[in-house]
Amino acid sequence: MAKNSNFYPVILAGGRGTRFWPLSRKKRAKQLLALDGKQTMIQQTVARLLPLAAPKRFWIITNEDLRSAILKQLPRLPKAQVLPEPVGRNTAPAIGLAAFLLSRENPDAVIGMFPSDHVIADEKGYRATIERGVEIAASGENIVVLGIRPNRAETGYGYIEAGSIADGGAYRVRRFTEKPDAEKAAAFVAAGNYFWNSGMFLWSARTLVNALREHLPRTASLLEEISAVFGTGKFAPTFRKLYPKCENISIDYAVLEPRSAKGEQAGKIFCLPADFGWNDLGSWTALHEHHMGKSSQAAGNLIHGAGVFALNSSGNYVHAPGKFVAVIGVNDLVVVETDDALLITTRQQAQDVGKVVRYLDEKKLHKLT
């Protein structure tokens, strides 16, 4: 696939990533951090898609807090296409707005919806998968979802039940399921025909616009009204006025679940297995494990600091750039330090870091969030 195809990446970058507090903040969300290498997560997301689409094809949906930082990090992207939501309304209105905008520009546009804060090990495999997905999505009313083969009974993701095999290595989707309990998750993994929902979708602008009109008509007409004035002085005030009236709902719940309920054939949803080393870096622990896979450190400590002294210690993740770090007799800790905050937790409990942010929000300690 060349850059002159109909592929348009739409990157959703409105999240906060509170589980990476104290490094992640409202104005410096997870996708703006360089958690894995020199580039930030969103820079990596764009960089790995650039061989498939010219910069002018990119759209980013974010919020007012993050927009200026994103523009700085991605100077080659068209400023007008980095859209700040006046309020967060989950994924359906966000990707829906992009669909209405792009259907005006190019009705044959194939939209790829991508989270902005995941890591991909095999970028070539990733692009090859997307190319196959774009072909499937280009015809008829097809919807493509990239599915990750589960390697553990994870309860934090939605699952896709795959049915019959179709062309291009894809499976017809039988059903989407919400985050399961541990027992269900184990059964899904054992069954072999379940995939994790990666949050990466492909569909034509026309298909998505039609689906929204069918399943979410009120929001669809609001989005159409907003998109109609794009490029004019009316856009900003219209966006600010009408977008908050959109339903606060995920695209999975609004479109994919009802579509899949039509049945495997009529639903026209395809799951494309994504065997390219995907990781959503959901917590400090996930980041630790991601890095440890790359480089085996002495005694399993991963310490970002100006120097290290480790004694009787293993499995620790410490982020304290510029500081000499001494660990003595401690195991499996996660310690993260910034100019104004210090987090001390364990690999086991790092998933609860978001609770700190909830507490700080409640106490209106805005400087720390």
Q: Minimum distance from CB of 36 to its own copies (Å)?
A: 22
CB nearer its own copies, residue 298 or residue 328: 328
Taking CB under 8 A as the criterion, the residue among 4, 232, 328, 364 binding its own copies is 328
Instruction: Work out whether 366 is an interface residue with its own copies (CB under 8 A).
Output: no
Task: Put residue 191 in one of left, alpha, beta given phi > 0 → left and psi -120 to 50 → alpha.
Answer: alpha
How far is residue 160's CA from residue 322's CA, in Å, rounded to a whole number?
Answer: 44
CB nearer its own copies, residue 238 or residue 345: 345
What number of other Cβ atoms are within 10 A of residue 95's Cβ? Answer: 24
Taking CB under 8 A as the criterion, the residue among 47, 128, 165, 306 binding its own copies is 306
Q: b/e per residue, 160-193, with b = 16+ CB within 10 A? A: bbbbeebeeebbbbbbbbeebeeebbeebbeeee
Q: What DSSP string runs through 100-119?
A: HHHHHH-TTPEEEEEESS-E
Instruction: Work out whether 327 is an interface residue with its own copies (CB under 8 A).
Output: yes
| Three-state DSSP state, 281 | coil
Q: How far is CA 17 from CA 138, 306, 328, 342, in A?
A: 33, 26, 30, 17
Instruction: Work out whether 305 is an interface residue with its own copies (CB under 8 A).
Output: yes
Taking CB under 8 A as the criterion, the residue among 337, 361, 364, 366 binding its own copies is 337
Q: Minimum distance from CB of 152 to its own copies (Å)?
A: 21
Instruction: Work out whether 135 is an interface residue with its own copies (CB under 8 A).
Output: no
Taking CB under 8 A as the criterion, the residue among 9, 22, 112, 158 binding its own copies is 22
Look at residues 285, 279, 198 and name the one whose alpha carbon lies nearest to residue 20. 285
The continuous run of DSSP H or E covering 255 comes out as: none
Half-sphere exposure of 36 (CA within 13 A, CB side): 28
Among 31-39, 185-193, 202-210, 304-312, which window interacts with its own copies (CB under 8 A)? 304-312
| Binders of its own copies in range 150-209 (CB under 8 A) | none
Instruction: Work out whether 326 is an interface residue with its own copies (CB under 8 A).
Output: yes
Q: Which residue has the tokens 């379940």?
A: 194
| Three-state DSSP state, 147 | strand
Encoding tokens for residue 261? Answer: 């309920």
315, 301 Cβ separation under 8 angstroms: yes
CB nearer its own copies, residue 292 or residue 320: 320
Q: Minimum distance from CB of 293 to its own copies (Å)?
A: 23
Taking CB under 8 A as the criterion, the residue among 102, 113, 148, 356 binding its own copies is 356
Among 39-47, 206-214, 254-262, 336-344, which window interacts with its own copies (CB under 8 A)? 336-344
Q: Which residue has the tokens 């005006």?
A: 104
Instruction: Work out whether 352 is an interface residue with its own copies (CB under 8 A).
Output: yes
How far is residue 129's CA from residue 169's CA, in Å, rounded to a whole number?
Answer: 10
CB nearer its own copies, residue 216 or residue 310: 310
Instruction: Work out whether 302 is an interface residue with its own copies (CB under 8 A).
Output: no
Taking CB under 8 A as the criterion, the residue among 267, 360, 361, 366 binding its own copies is 360
Instruction: Work out whether 104 is an interface residue with its own copies (CB under 8 A).
Output: no
Instruction: Work out whether 362 is an interface residue with its own copies (CB under 8 A).
Output: no
Residues that bind its own copies (CB under 8 A): 21-22, 305-307, 309, 311-312, 316, 318, 320, 322-330, 333, 335, 337, 339-346, 348-350, 352-353, 355-356, 359-360, 365, 368
